[in-house]
Amino acid sequence: MTKPEEVPTLETINEFLRDDTRVKLAVVDIDGVLRGKIMHKTKFLNIVEEGFGFCSVVHGWDIEDQLYTQEIEFSGKEAPYFDFIAKIDLSSFRRIPWENNVPFFLVSLVHPKTREPLYCCPRTLLESACDDLMNTYGYTAYCGTEFEFFCFKETPEALKEKGFTNLNPLTVGMCGYSILRPTDNQEFYYNAFDWLREFRVDIESWHSETGPGVFEAALAYVDAREAGDRAALFKTSMKQIARKHGFMASFMAKPYQDLPGCSGHTHFSLKDKNGRNVFAIWDKSEESEIPGVSKTMYHFLAGLLRGLPSIMAILAPTVNSYKRLVERFWAPITVSWGIDNRRGAVRIIVPPASSPNGARMEVRVPGSDINAHLVYAAVLKCGYWGIRTSQTMPIGPLSDKVDLDTQSGEKLARTLQEATAAMEAKGSVAREVLGDDFVNHFVKTRRHEWTEWVNAVTDYERKRYMELI
C-alpha cells in the first residue's frame, strides 16, 4: 500500500521504480474517462521532470472516440492535432494491486502554445477552485462522493450481441443494506474493498442498494484535490475489478425506467488553517440567520443555489442523467435545500445531526455518471463566489411536509439541451465562476452529446411507430 509519506520525488523516483520495467500513466478527459498508456521505465525517467507529448485529440472526441460535431481547438477540419504537454504528478503515485502492482501516475495537461495549464483539463479546473479558497481565505476544501452502480453478469461482447437489452443482473430482487446478498459474490465484495485500500482509493463503507445487482460505495472524505483523483480512479478500478470476477459494473445514471437511478451524492466542507470546520458555528459571532448554519456556510450555499441551474450540465452531463432526475425517486428536480432533508437539491447537515467538525452540505443532484473533478470544481467555485460576494439565499428551506412531487423553487433543467443552454447564456453564473474558455469548450462537448442523441433511432421509436403510425 502506498502511504502519503512514500510519495516519490524527482530525487527518489529511481529508487521507487528500482525493480520495475514499466509504468502506467493516465489523463482524465472531459467525461471523467481515464486515457493513458504503459511506458517503458527508461522512457518514463527521461520525461518525468519536463513532461511528454500527449495527443490533443483526447479533448477533441467523445467517449466513443468520435470527433465532436462542433469544431473546437483540438479537433475538426482545421485542427492540426498537436500535442499537449503532459506533466507527471508524482504525488498521485500508486501501485495497482490487481495489475501485478504496476506503478501508476496521473498527469495534468499544459497547453503547448501558452505554456499555461489547459483550461479544459478537469484536474486543472479543480486545482484552480482549491487555490481560490486557499489563497483568499486559507480554506482547504474537503469532498467525498457516494457512488451507486449496477452490476451485470455480462461481458462487453455479450452486451453488443444482445443489443444492450435483457441484461442479467448480478443479484435479484430489491435488497438494500442486505447482509445476505454480498455473500453471493463474497470474493468480489472483499477483494474490491481491500484492493482499493491498497490502491489509496479508500472506501469508507459499502453495501448493497435497492435494486438488482446494485451497490453503493462511500469514498473516504479527503481534501478536494485528492478526492477528485480518487473518484475518477474508483470508477475505472471498480469496472476492472468486476471484470476480473467475471461480470460488469456500470455507472450509468438510469439503466432501468422503473427503478431508481444511480446517484453520486457529494459532500462538501471547508477547513481553516487550524483544521477547524468553518461550516460549523464555534462562537455566536459566526452564526447566520439560519439556526445552526455559519455565515460562511450560508454564503457558500447561497452561491451554489444561485449557480445551480447554470452548472447542471456538469452535475448531469449525459442525456441519460435527466432520466434519473424525475419525481418519485428521491431525486431533486428544483433549486431547493433543507436541514437534514433528503428531498432537496442540497441537504445541510449541521449539529445536532452531526458533530461540529462533521458539518457539511450534501449536493444530491449528481448521478454516478459524473466527472467528479468537474463537479467538485463547479460547486466549490460557486461556493467561493457566494462567500466572496456575500450572496443571499434565493429561497427558503424545504418544509418537512413538502411532497416530492410538489417541490417549490426554480425547476432544474429536464434535458441536457436545456442545461447546456443555461450554462452558455450570457452572464450565467457558470461563466462568472468557471470562465469563458472552459464554458465555451464544455458547451460544445454537451451539444455534441445532445446531437448524437437527437440523431439516434431508438427501440422506443420502432415500438411506438413502426406498425401503427
pLDDT, tens digit (0-9, with 9 covering 90-100), for 260-276: 999 999 999 999 999 99
The neighbouring-strand residues paired with 23 are 39
pTM of the model: 0.96
Q: Where does residue 352 rank: exposed (0-12), middle (13-18), buried (19+ CB within 10 A)?
A: exposed
Q: Is residue 32 within 8 Å of residue 376, measured between CB atoms? A: no
Which residue carries 506503478 as its cell?
A: 103
pLDDT band at 79 (very low <50, low <70, confident <90, very high): confident
Is residue 387 scored above 90 in pLDDT?
yes
DSSP E strands: which ranges in 124-241? 140-152, 203-208, 214-219, 222-223
For the chain, domains (ranges, CATH) are 4-118 (3.10.20.70), 134-453 (3.30.590.10)
Question: What is the residue type of 156?
Answer: P
* d(C-alpha 170, C-alpha 259), whole Å: 16
Question: What is the residue type of 52?
Answer: F
DSSP E strands: which ranges in 251-290? 264-271
* d(C-alpha 152, C-alpha 251), whole Å: 12
Is residue 1 scored above 60 in pLDDT?
no
* Percent of the chain whose pLDDT exceeds 90: 87
Is residue 5 scored above 90 in pLDDT?
no
Q: Is residue 215 within 8 Å of residue 169, measured between CB atoms? A: no
For the stretch 27-75, pLDDT in tens is 999 999 999 999 999 999 999 999 999 999 999 999 999 999 888 999 8
Interhelix angle 295-307/372-388, rounded to 10 degrees, is: 120
Exposure string (b/e) for 108-122, b if CB count within 10 Å is 16 or more?
bbbbeeeeebbbbbb
For the stretch 101-131, pLDDT in tens is 999 999 999 999 999 999 999 999 999 999 9
pLDDT band at 331 (very low <50, low <70, confident <90, very high): confident
Q: Where does residue 291 rank: exposed (0-12), middle (13-18), buried (19+ CB within 10 A)?
A: exposed
Q: What is the DSSP letter of 362?
A: E
